[in-house]
A and B are shown apart, each in its own frame.
Chain A
Amino acid sequence: MFRSAGVRFAVVYALLLAASAAALALFLWWSTAGLLDRQTETAIRADAQGLSERWEEGGLPALVLTIDERLSGNVDDDAVYLLTNARMQRVAGNLAGWPSIVREPDTWYELPVQRAGILSLALVWRYDLPGGYHLLIGRDVQVRAQLRRLLTDALLWALVIVAAMAVAGALIVRSLLRRTLANVSTTANAIAAGDFAQRVKLSGRGDEFDQLAEVINDMLDRIGRLMDGVKQVSNAIAHDLRTPITRARARLEEASLRASSPEALRAAIDRATADLDGIVAVFQALMRISEIEAGSRRSAFATLDLAPPLADLAELYGAVAEEKGVTLSADIPERLPAHGDRELIQQAVANLLDNAVKFSPPGGTVRLQARPAAAGVEVLVADQGAGIPPEDLKRATERFFRGESARSTPGAGLGLALVQAVAQLHGGTLRLEDAAPGLAATLSLPAPEEPAHG
């Protein structure tokens, strides 16, 4: 039974309530009956102090006189005194004889007394005096004893009521917890059974359970998106690789059946090999993106100057662009401190430049601009090509996504996906905008961390 969280919560609730009630009861007892007891004791001790002083001042006669005076002035009619000699014979006081139960000195006794035929209770303290005299000082506590009994009865009844409330409250707590968890459990069971559209219902109260439900629903949404992505990539791989594989197979089959010379056969094999190399390249790109997304390269991060690698890229792609009749203009500062993986950042910018040159029309210009920004470093690559339609901009970084204008150009649709993965790995962003005409891609990377000042 205690393996149930609901039962455990209920028991904890009941115990806490019982402990709180017990603490309250003890405090009430201490501050009422306890206070009266303490007041009585204080009065008896003060009385004893005064009698002791009279004994020291005037001996037995003074003590007897004082006891008589105190009894005479005891308007409350609650004082009890008894002074006896060594043979326990009464010398002064208002008790008929020495009570047999009072044997030890310096001890509190609750003594039954009879006042005018009515049974009562007195709290007394025994003192032994020099010369074998014994003194008993006390106060009638019958009313206080009755009050204590009433208080005890009231507290015990309160305890019974608290116990009943604790049980009822525990059952309610268990029921609430079970109902709330049943909501989550039903959703989890439905998802386990294959209904991924199910979500945890919100009560609308905005409490902790609603917050938990929102977190679970967000998690399920995220898992759903990831599963959609996996499906999409699987479909894209199947679709995009089927064509070159089919083509390579057809070429090899055609050559096998109809090649008229060894040269023709070798040429067919070379073309098929080139097709298969393209497939291998696609898989390598996919694996590289996965590796980047897994974050394993983060350990290679270092503070670096981006200016030299960007200048190298500008020089390399400047030559490529020139062959296509495209101008590449580079604007790179002398120093550009950044923090990250040099090789990955270089790869990402190379992909952006490759795309820009590839899609630029002859006579167009590709801009490579790098500058320090408030949040770190910004690298802009803009071209004057067809660009990406606004409705496709959000999907442009998905794996294998290729817009209508890119269908006729070579590529697998993985370049921007890799750039996006590099940006995310570095805690940066990739922003794609319409450059009218063309596409402006801005890769933002965070600034290197400031060294700690000692």
Chain B
Amino acid sequence: MMSLTRSYGAAGLALSVMAGFAVTPPSVAGQTAPVMVTSDTPQYCLHLLDQVSELMRLAPAPPPEVTSLSTAGQRMCGQGHTRGGIMRLRRALVLLKEHSLPP
């Protein structure tokens, strides 16, 4: 009932062009309760911070950007800017993994 095929938008537009009235893709957001995403929470922020710290501890000489990103991410998560903090910690993780890969 709530499932929507990926082509409904194009078909809707085609119908609207042919029939001359608007068919906006129906949003299910208003018809069912949204599911919570757990990777935007302060808990996830701490989880990422643990991962970054662990990798930094194992890395012989982590890049300086990693340190600054990790610090900024930790500060932002502490100040309530969870998504911004998580984004910086993720970038720090990606840099650390790239750095630890053999050349």
A75 to B97 alpha-carbon distance, docked (Å) = 13
A37 to B9 alpha-carbon distance, docked (Å) = 10
Q: Are A108 and B3 in contact (CB under 8 A)?
A: yes
In the complex, B56 has a CB within 8 A of chain A = no
Residue from A33, A108, A156 within 8 A of B4 (CB atoms): A108
| Neighbouring A residues of B33 by C-beta, 8 Å | 112
How big is the B interface, by class?
Answer: 35 or more
Q: Is the interface of B mostly helix, strand, loop or mixed?
A: helix
Within 8 A of A (CB), among B1-56: 1-6, 9-10, 12-14, 16-18, 20, 22, 24-25, 27-29, 32-41, 44, 48, 51
In the complex, A7 has a CB within 8 A of chain B = no
Smallest Cβ distance from B23 to chain A, in angstroms? 8
Q: Is the interface of A mostly helix, strand, loop or mixed?
A: mixed
Q: Are B20 and A123 in contact (CB under 8 A)?
A: no
- Residues A148 and B3 in contact in the complex (CB < 8 Å), given A94-B37, A116-B82: no
Within 8 A of B (CB), among A112-154: 112-116, 119-121, 123, 145, 148-149, 152
Q: Are B20 and A114 in contact (CB under 8 A)?
A: no
Q: Are A108 and B17 in contact (CB under 8 A)?
A: no
| Neighbouring B residues of A97 by C-beta, 8 Å | 35-36
In the complex, residue of chain A having the shortest beta-carbon distance to the beta carbon of B4: A110
| Neighbouring A residues of B14 by C-beta, 8 Å | 22, 26
In the complex, A195 has a CB within 8 A of chain B = no
In the complex, A427 has a CB within 8 A of chain B = no
Q: Are A115 and B37 in contact (CB under 8 A)?
A: yes
Q: Are B6 and A75 in contact (CB under 8 A)?
A: no
- 4 additional A-B pairs beyond A94-B38, A94-B39, A115-B37, beta carbons within 8 Å, are A26-B13, A109-B3, A113-B37, A120-B34
- The 12 sampled A-B contact pairs (Cβ below 8 Å) are A21-B17, A33-B9, A37-B6, A101-B3, A109-B2, A109-B3, A109-B4, A112-B32, A113-B37, A115-B40, A119-B34, A148-B9
Q: Nearest 7 pairs between A and B by C-beta?
A: A94-B39, A112-B29, A96-B36, A112-B34, A116-B40, A101-B2, A114-B34
B interface residues (Cβ-Cβ under 8 A, vs A): 1-6, 9-10, 12-14, 16-18, 20, 22, 24-25, 27-29, 32-41, 44, 48, 51, 82-83, 86-87, 90-91, 93-94, 97
